[in-house]
Amino acid sequence: MLFHVTMEVNLPPDMPKAEADDIKAREKTYAQALMRQGKWPHIWRVAGRYANVSIFDVADNDELHALLSGLPLFPWMDIQVTALARHPSAL
């Protein structure tokens, strides 16, 4: 199943830099592992915001929830999910 996922990160302004840097490094490692597995085939930065638009290709809603809640930045994210279906005009 394909999902359009928008994620906006809202780290607390008083979070120590070393802690934020560690979380971001773990996030990158986790995300890139999902990309290599084909579960996170597309990610785009939203210009001017600490946000991204992504496409996930997973088995079902439960798998998507597990992957998203496993993101190290998850506690500080506002996430919006839209399930996608093939358009009848698509080739």
pLDDT at 65: 98
Q: Which domains does the chain have, with CATH numbers?
A: 2-84 (3.30.70.1060)
pLDDT at 11: 98
**Is the whole model's pTM more than 0.85, yes or no?**
yes
What are residue 5's DSSP bridge partners?
Answer: 54, 81
> Span 66-76, mean pLDDT?
98
Reported as a single tens digit per residue, the pLDDT across 12-68 is: 999 999 999 999 999 999 999 999 999 999 999 999 999 999 999 999 999 999 999
